[in-house]
Amino acid sequence: MEKLSPLQIERLKYQPKLPSSLAGGINNLEMAEGSATQSVRDQEQIKELFKNTYGKPVVTFEKGSSSRNLPSKNVGVILSGGQAPGGHNVIAGLYDALKQANPENKLYGFLGGPSGIIDGKYVEFDDKFINAYRNTGGFDIIGSGRTKLETEEQFQKSLEVCKKLNITAVVIIGGDDSNTNAALLAEWFVKNNTGIQVIGCPKTIDGDLKNDQIEISFGFDTATKTYAELIGNIQRDANSAKKYWHFIKIMGRSASHVALEAALQTQPNITLISEEIEQKKMSLESIINYMCDIIVKRADMGKNFGIAVIPEGLIEFIPEMKSMISNLNDIMASLENDPDFVNATTIRDKFDIVENRLDPANAKVYNSLPALIKGQLLADRDPHGNVQVSKIETEKLLIEMISTRLESLKSQGDYIGKFNPQSHFFGYEGRCAFPSNFDADYCYSLGFNAFALISFGLTGYLSSVRNLTETADKWVAGGVPLTMMMNMEKRHGEMKPVIQKALVKLDGPVFKQLEENREDWALNDRYLFPGAIQYFGPSCVCDVTTCTLQLEKSRELASV
């Protein structure tokens, strides 16, 4: 028998809270429909690609006055993409709802992500299986994967597996790309009259899968609190030793929500926000000058220490780097089968081949980078053809360039301090943490709600639970059409439909909170030390939501 930690034993006992509409029972729901919807952009193109699922209304659930008799139903579930705390509770909520609706219902978990439904690798859940994973972190209950669901052959194989298991609904738990897969699969199933529904659940610690109906993706709460604990610990160490500058790269591929939230929880000396850098068209040199200015000013105050928080995707938002990487992504797609590149004997030979293919301005930028970074930019692409920014050690690039700049200032007599840098990357540390009470409740509600959408015959929807700054009983359950969140973007050199990422709004209340305080935090040590996530105790400690949600909700209420 597996040995459990004391915390895991206690967390297995935790009963997640539900919105009052869902708590009344899956068979006692009524559904209210809103007006027809449209995609966020490129309406005509998206409508043409999703002829059978486009334009559906947003729906909400309320307690019903009568009980529904629901026939037995088999459902399949997929965990897709990177891990996020609370995924197990989505499956637990889905399982509990379908068993409550009809004890004859069955839930199958496809193993290893979307490839499981293609290859027919699955498990059937029962009470004992599910109960061992309640309120735990990770995706190890069935594993995850990044296989794309987009080809006719993949759809056909998925259909055959579903028919074999008599599955009439599939739930895909994932981020923007995974739910794009869900939208494509839903459209294909309807087009081919299969009778199989597809429902998505909004997962990603990056926090970039959201709109008015999806206030936050699950896992963001737990991950940011985990990172904030680590940053707070480092700040305490820096404030004690008073001799190190810590450069902390923090997960978040395209959007800076994670870095921004962690900064608001800890108040470091420097926080870079990718979206701001792009809007202001800041060059790499101007970023270095900005950071050096703070380092020099602190040194003049006798403070040769500090904390800098750097979003993972920063390098793609620096204008000259963004242009170069976009050019490089296209070139790398063509070099995959190029014998000269594949058989190059040294990494420098590969550098030369790439530089000769790049546009002149982009080649100049690429050539100016340290060999370490140049090599990392050539690493294998992700399934969408993009550079894997987590493998680019941006924090070390900044340290190297800052060190060079400070040496130059020292030789001119403009810097008298000592610069002892330390680099960190916080990513995987937060993806599988024990979910916070908020994420445990939110995820369970999302899963429970996913079956509510299935029970009303809906397909091509994303499970939505709103009003999240209130207590769970006041949360609003419902669904949003996946096509409502879509636009056209370039992938692998082609324009494809994808769910639009929600980036940091520079005119929004969350960024404004940082902007109003960053000058004070830069020179005066206003460090906060959040400590570990708390699961037991007063609600103001255990159930508090993120600064991001609180600030966004405050603005929303103020505008009413």
pLDDT tens figures, 49-88: 999 999 999 999 999 988 999 999 999 999 999 999 999 9
Q: Are residues 370 and 482 in the same domain?
A: no
Question: Looking at residue 385, what is its pLDDT?
Answer: 65
Sign of CA dihedral 231, 233, 235, 241: negative
482 three-class SS = helix
Q: Are residues 308 and 447 in the same domain?
A: no
Map tokens 């299969």 to a residue: 194
Q: How far is CA 550 from CA 85, 139, 547, in A?
A: 20, 28, 5
pLDDT higher at 27 or 389: 27
Q: Are residues 370 and 358 in the same domain?
A: yes
CA distance 24 to 166: 29
- DSSP designation for 382: -
Confidence of residue 559 (pLDDT cuts 50, 70, 90): low
Q: Helices then strands (H, E): number in the chain?
A: 23, 15
Q: Are residues 273 and 251 in the same domain?
A: yes
pTM equals 0.94
Q: Are residues 345 and 394 in the same domain?
A: yes
Total domain count, the chain: 2
Question: Looking at residue 543, what is its pLDDT?
Answer: 93
Question: Looking at residue 384, what is its pLDDT?
Answer: 61
Among residues 466, 491, 516, the one where a domain terminates is: 491
199 CB contacts (<8 Å, ≥6 apart)?
169, 170, 171, 172, 182, 450, 453, 454, 458, 459, 461, 462, 463, 479
Query: For residue 549, which of 229, 215, 226, 204 has the smallest C-alpha distance?
Result: 215
Residue of 96, 176, 177, 206 marked catalytic:
206
- Per residue in 418-467, pLDDT (tens digit) is 999 999 999 999 999 999 999 999 999 999 999 999 999 999 999 999 99
Evaluate whether residue 407 is within a structural domain: yes
Question: Looking at residue 212, what is its pLDDT?
Answer: 87
User: Once rounded to an integer, what is the mean pLDDT over residues 144-152?
Assistant: 93
Question: Looking at residue 285, what is its pLDDT?
Answer: 92
CA distance 137 to 252: 19
Length of the chain: 560
Question: Looking at residue 509, what is its pLDDT?
Answer: 97
**Has residue 493 got a pLDDT over 90?**
no
Question: Looking at residue 140, what is its pLDDT?
Answer: 96
- Per residue in 189-205, pLDDT (tens digit) is 999 999 999 999 999 99
For 372-401, b/e burial (b = at least 16 CB within 10 A) is ebbbbbbeebeeebbbebbebbbbbbbbbb
Q: Are residues 336 and 426 in the same domain?
A: yes
- DSSP designation for 203: B
Residues 491 and 385 sit within 8 Å (Cβ to Cβ): yes
Evaluate whether residue 245 is within a structural domain: yes
Edge-first strand order for the sheet with 421-426 is 270-271, 306-311, 245-250, 421-426
123 CB contacts (<8 Å, ≥6 apart)?
108, 109, 111, 129, 142
Question: Looking at residue 368, what is its pLDDT?
Answer: 87
Q: Are residues 198 and 336 in the same domain?
A: no
Q: What is the mean pLDDT of the chain?
A: 94
**Has residue 558 got a pLDDT over 70?**
no
**Has residue 557 got a pLDDT over 70?**
no
CATH number at residue 364: 3.40.50.460
Question: Looking at residue 534, what is its pLDDT?
Answer: 96
User: Once rounded to an integer, what is the mean pLDDT over residues 315-333?
Assistant: 89
Could you tell me the residue range of the domain that residue 475 belongs to?
A: 29-219+435-491
Q: Are residues 442 and 423 in the same domain?
A: no
Q: Are residues 285 and 157 in the same domain?
A: no
What HEC string does 43-93 produce? HHHHHHHCCCCCCCCCEEEEECCCCCCCCCCEEEEEECCCCCCCHHHHHHH
Question: Looking at residue 332, what is its pLDDT?
Answer: 86
**Has residue 136 got a pLDDT over 70?**
yes
- Per residue in 235-285, pLDDT (tens digit) is 999 999 999 999 999 998 889 999 999 999 999 999 999 999 999 999 999
Residues 264 and 513 sit within 8 Å (Cβ to Cβ): yes
User: Once rounded to an integer, what is the mean pLDDT over residues 544-559?
Assistant: 85
Evaluate whether residue 22 is within a structural domain: no
Q: Are residues 76 and 187 in the same domain?
A: yes
Question: Looking at residue 330, what is its pLDDT?
Answer: 86
Q: Are residues 207 and 281 in the same domain?
A: no
| Least confident span in 228-242, 329-343, 391-405, 463-477 | 329-343
Q: Has 380 been annotated as catalytic?
A: no
CA distance 185 to 158: 9
Residues 460 and 107 sit within 8 Å (Cβ to Cβ): no
**Has residue 386 got a pLDDT over 90?**
no
Question: Looking at residue 5, what is its pLDDT?
Answer: 92
CATH number at residue 123: 3.40.50.450
CA distance 400 to 396: 6
